[in-house]
Structure 1
């Protein structure tokens, strides 16, 4: 992570969450209030002076965003300009993006689809009432927390940045897989454009497929979007409620006049289809996090005999440096990182945003690095036998706060590093494994947790009574 320093004399970046054409998102600590926040630096429009007209417009739009007060909308805490770069300070949400969930779970059950869509419509209704269009409704901007709550983020960033983004970067704002045809043509978007994005997200949830297939050719996607449009679902998925597929087809119509005109109308249709959807989403998310924790049980390097972190001396030797061989997909690590608190990410797409991994997973190709990979790399890059204990304490605090996904990710790195650099009988190693087992138990991975508890107990027993395992 580049050295950003204290933003506005208050926000201290501690990690990179995402990077795209609009700017960079950091997880940070608000040193005044002592809370975690997300700081989005809009580098696409950096260089604003105090008397700049663009700055006045930015602040006006930011005030409009701040008026949106709804549980399904990410809260905007603060805004301003730091060294000529506008920034937004928002709440950090612990969960996964819709892109991440569909990438791992595949097509979602009808009630889950309706529940996610209902959360998005509630968010859009609150925004539209405040006079704010989203302009970029897509799966990576839809988040789901561990309680099954749906939250929409990145409202109005295109409007916040203004025309400067398009003229400076020459890119189309939005993602062609989910952007409304009229917006592609350059027509000023209306609320119906946000509803088109919702329909495209629902198409992904129902089919497990991107609306225009797996192609990365932007021209081909635009041609399809302006040509035949998103393929209709009617008759394609007979197992799905007819009302749900008909609604998706209406939302995805090319002519905005043929779509529902008010988001409240769509929400009314969805409410009768979403019963039990929140609990189902919470269950899907719990399973997703549990599987991720189990995958990371052995860590990113071989648990028994993995080399110490880069730059640390080999056990029993002085001066010899080991280089860890971490198996990972070959992508630009510096660009990898989710824009949502705990989503998945991949290479940047056509508009410069970090692309969710669903297009890779669904096509059967190797998935790009996930947040877990990025977190492990971050921890590995800074871990030494000397600071392993402090890293362990950070992980324990995450467990105690109920942030189990982040704790599991951190422990999946700490444990193998401790095994290789401190040894299997070291107190820090055993304590880290104990908390890894606690984390697994709280994620309902009881068998794996019990096995790990037993291994720790046998090691402790061997150290006290000489009995080997």
Structure 2
């Protein structure tokens, strides 16, 4: 993790575990708070690294962090701590178990209307709470809308937040935000106001309803800005989209180019969304649970690549407790040319990197970590870790080794608890068959 101490800690306290995301302002890792023994998300704001602790910019950063900490709402990610580490500002936040809205729309299919309205309703409440605290989000987009397995919507990544009326902490002349979801006035260089956040909500709703990005799949910033400042977001009212007309009108109003004409009263926005969101939370929870389950099953059945040779010295010493660096994320998300919100699974590349440095001893250590995660109910993390550990065991220890069998057993437990019962039963059956063969074999 960039900026970590020699002992691997950020600010002498936070130990990185795995990469959660990367954006224009910085990089976010899940980390262990070694003082309070809890999971957190640490965002290093690398876009403004080199910030001296006594500068005016540092004072503004501190004021922004304090403003974020004032927001007490279940729909806004909680800020725990902030500071500067080796000249790079960092924020320490609540880490969420679930997926992002970008994950849910990655296949290009529209979401059910009640689900889209439920997500938008949650974002509306979160934005209202932030605005009442004097905080603008400035980057409302699908990757910044988190959804837990219970269907709770949480607006996250306020790394671009700016206190209303203050100068943003950005590089001079930098384009801050994502053009597909950026308000036209921000593109023109004006200081965005609350209306810009509501525009972001409108473009997210457009994506949920249509399954398409507002300005098509192009990643050409110039082309996107030309469309945004020209024709604007295509209107939904009276078009082919199978969507309640009132919801289409709301999207059109939120996406108006002129911020003065844009709908921006949270009470009226909620009033439009609420009647159409009936049953949406339950359906949303089902979709999120299915996505998490599918990811776990995919990782369980991934074909393990051939590992790199391991030196004799490496098989003697126990590996560090954490080997999960920026490359070792399963699955990882990044924007793809031609489809900025389709997730790319780096499973094969990741496994090659991890397998090349993981020894049988460190695999056993990871297995123990994974079992602890299962026992603590952190099933997605455990499944991801075991999807790397199992191939190591298979290739270095063999399919009938006790460590391999134990790892596969706990992987099956994860799948079963994530409701992938059919795949779990197959894995349990294979493990039981191999255990029986070991027990009955002449060599045991």
The one-character-per-residue Cα deviations of 1:187-208 (angstroms, maximum 9, x if unpaired) are 2212111110000001111111
> Match for 1:147 among 142, 147, 150?
150
TM-score, normalized by length of structure 1? 0.85
Corresponding position of 1:442: 417
Corresponding position of 1:200: 203
CA distance in 1, matches of 2:59, 2:47: 16
CA distance in 2, matches of 1:100, 1:344: 11
CA distance in 2, matches of 1:409, 1:257: 47
* Shift of residue 405, structure 1, vs aligned partner: 2.0
> Match for 1:299 among 299, 302, 327?
302
* Shift of residue 336, structure 1, vs aligned partner: 6.8
- Which deviates the most, 83-92 or 237-246? 237-246
| Pairing 1:346–2:345 present | no
Instruction: Give the secondary structure class of the aligned counterpart of 2:41.
Output: strand
* Shift of residue 295, structure 1, vs aligned partner: 1.4
Q: After superposition, where does 1:30-109 map in structure 2 within 5 Å?
A: 30-104=33-107, 106-109=109-112
* Shift of residue 255, structure 1, vs aligned partner: 0.9
Paired residues of 1:142 and 1:152 also in contact (CA < 8 A): yes
CA distance in 2, matches of 1:447, 1:343: 22
Paired residues of 1:135 and 1:189 also in contact (CA < 8 A): yes
Q: After superposition, where does 1:43-442 map in structure 2 within 5 Å?
A: 43-104=46-107, 106-155=109-158, 157=160, 159=162, 163=168, 165-167=170-172, 170-301=173-304, 307=306, 309-312=307-310, 345-347=333-335, 359=340, 361=342, 368-369=344-345, 376=351, 379-442=354-417
CA distance in 1, matches of 2:78, 2:341: 31
Shift of the 319–149 alpha-carbon distance from structure 1 to 2, 3 Å rule, reads closer
Paired residues of 1:424 and 1:430 also in contact (CA < 8 A): yes
What's the C-alpha RMSD, in Å, of the aligned pairs?
A: 2.8
Higher relative contact order (CA 8 A, sep 6+): 1
Unmatched segments (≥5 aa) in structure 1: 322-332, 348-354, 362-366
The one-character-per-residue Cα deviations of 1:229-278 (angstroms, maximum 9, x if unpaired) are 01111133453222111111111111112211322321222111111111
* Shift of residue 16, structure 1, vs aligned partner: 2.8
Instruction: Give the secondary structure class of the aligned counterpart of 1:296.
Output: helix
* Shift of residue 185, structure 1, vs aligned partner: 0.8
The one-character-per-residue Cα deviations of 1:346-368 (angstroms, maximum 9, x if unpaired) are 24xxxxxxx7995364xxxxx53
Instruction: Give the secondary structure class of the aligned counterpart of 2:340.
Output: helix
Shift of the 233–92 alpha-carbon distance from structure 1 to 2, 3 Å rule, reads same
CA distance in 2, matches of 1:129, 1:257: 19
TM-score, normalized by length of structure 2? 0.89
Aligned length: 430
Corresponding position of 1:4: 4
Paired residues of 1:337 and 1:345 also in contact (CA < 8 A): no
Unmatched segments (≥5 aa) in structure 2: 316-323
* Shift of residue 3, structure 1, vs aligned partner: 6.3
| Pairing 1:465–2:440 present | yes
CA distance in 1, matches of 2:351, 2:289: 21
